Amino acid sequence: MADTKRDFYEVLGVGKTAAADQIKSAYRKLARKFHPDVNKNDKSAESKFKEVQEAYDILSDTKKRQAYDQFGHAGVSSAAAAEAAAAAAASGSPRDGSGFRYSRRTPGGATVDFGDVDIDDLFASIGSRRRKSRRGATASPFAAEATDAPEAAGADIVHHVTLSFEHAARGTTLDLRFDAANRAFSETISVKIPAGVDEGSKVRVRGKGQPSMMGSSRGDLVIITHVAAHPYFTRSGQDVILELPLSPSEAATGTTVRVPTLDGPVELRVPPGINSGKKLRIRERGIPRRDGTKGDQLCRILVVLPESLTEAEKAALAEMDKTHHFDARSAVPWKFSSAT
């Protein structure tokens, strides 16, 4: 039976005296052109690719090429060529000192073989593809081989920190040391804590978590904040609360009191006749908001009697109540009638 296969040199479009690098260059050009995963519109692309692949498998091997030049297709059987190609792919050994055999199986059953690929050429191709992809350009023909699902990022690291009330309110910078016990390597990370964080707030630092399996993509570092109690400030939303004790005479006659705030002390005027529970507001001395504004400081009045009063002083206070017909509980909803 006559051999219906095309001449391998004709398939690759090179002469019979072509050097190895010319054969390699011709193969790469045709492999990109007829790659089944790239040329999806040409139904004959896969068969053409197989033909190009077989031609290159023979002509890129010195001994097989000699046998082909001498005896034609009969000199090298398809079975022998397939066996040799499978052995080369399984071994993963380079054809020479500068590259390796790169191949994969396509969904259609063809073996995609890019021949002896230089390492520098491969990384340059992938880098070029990624740059073009970011610019929205068409990916290179190698994109189908290198753009499988992106590598999953590494795991996030969750770290708890306790801040002072002032640092939580005004922000701070922390230098956090992580050793090999809780990540893949030791490092010190400088983390900026924004102003206004509260109990349980989360600060995410991108790309400072655990590395991925291949080490190319790291997870995030998630800082969870806790706020230590302050000796005299408390927080209500974005407002700061301060208890302000007054003596009965200060509450009765009014006064000016120097009070602390997060931004330093201020003079606060207390009007006469103020009672416990009333709040005096100091504008924009509270916790910063995201829009750049700040809450207020609320000074809650607490009228405090001396711990020990003489009988005469107690009598004077009782006489004052009678003179003013003063009933401290007159406005409360639970006031009882005298009959009960």
Architecture in CATH of 233-323: Sandwich (2.60)
Q: What is the pLDDT of residue 335?
A: 65
Find the angle CA(154)-CA(157)-CA(159) to the nearest 5 degrees.
170
Q: Which residues have CB under 8 Å from 300's CB, separation 6+? A: 241, 242, 243, 244, 277, 278, 279
Q: What is the pLDDT of residue 31?
A: 82
The pTM of this model reads 0.51
Find the angle CA(38)-CA(44)-CA(48) to the nearest 5 degrees.
80
Q: Is 72 left (phi over 0), alpha (psi -120 to 50) or beta?
A: left
CB atoms within 10 A of CB 73: 16
The two domains 157-227 and 233-323 share their CATH topology (first three levels equal): yes
Q: What is the pLDDT of residue 273?
A: 93
CB atoms within 10 A of CB 96: 9
Q: What is the pLDDT of residue 160?
A: 94
Among 206, 218, 208, 222, residue whose Cα is nearest residue 159: 222
Q: What is the pLDDT of residue 211?
A: 82
Contact 234, 287 (CB under 8 A): no
Query: Helices marked H in 98-256 — which ranges?
Result: 119-134, 143-146, 165-170, 248-253
Per-residue pLDDT of the chain (340 residues; tens, 9 = 90+): 445 788 989 999 999 899 998 998 888 888 888 876 677 778 788 888 888 888 888 898 888 898 888 888 777 665 454 555 555 555 444 444 434 444 444 444 444 444 444 444 444 444 454 555 455 544 444 444 444 556 677 889 899 999 999 999 999 999 998 875 555 567 899 999 999 999 999 999 998 888 887 767 889 999 999 999 999 999 999 999 999 999 999 999 999 999 999 999 999 999 999 999 999 999 999 999 989 999 999 999 999 999 889 999 999 989 998 998 888 888 778 866 655 4
3-state helix, strand, coil in the chain (%, to 5): 30, 25, 45
Contact 81, 58 (CB under 8 A): yes
CA distance 135 to 128: 11
Radius of gyration for the alpha carbons in the chain, expressed in angstroms and rounded: 41
Q: What is the pLDDT of residue 32?
A: 80
Find the angle CA(160)-CA(162)-CA(165) to the nearest 5 degrees.
145
Among 165, 160, 198, 196, residue whose Cα is nearest residue 176: 160
The amino acid present at 167, given as its one-letter code, is: H
CA distance 307 to 201: 42
CB atoms within 10 A of CB 127: 10
Q: Crossing angle of helices 45-59/62-71, nearest 10°?
A: 100
Query: Structural domain boundaries of the chain?
Result: 8-146, 157-227, 233-323
Q: Which CATH superfamily is domain 8-146 in?
A: DnaJ domain (1.10.287.110)
Query: Helices marked H in the chain — which ranges?
Result: 8-12, 20-34, 45-59, 62-71, 78-91, 119-134, 143-146, 165-170, 248-253, 311-323
Q: What is the pLDDT of residue 122?
A: 42
Q: What is the pLDDT of residue 180?
A: 58
CATH of 157-227, one of 2.60.260.20, 3.20.20.70, 2.60.40.1930, 3.40.50.11540: 2.60.260.20
Cα 255 to chain centroid distance, Å, stands at 54
Sign of CA dihedral 62, 68, 71, 76: positive
Q: What is the pLDDT of residue 97?
A: 41
Two structure tokens written together for 155? 């795991």
> Residue written as tokens 């690929």?
117
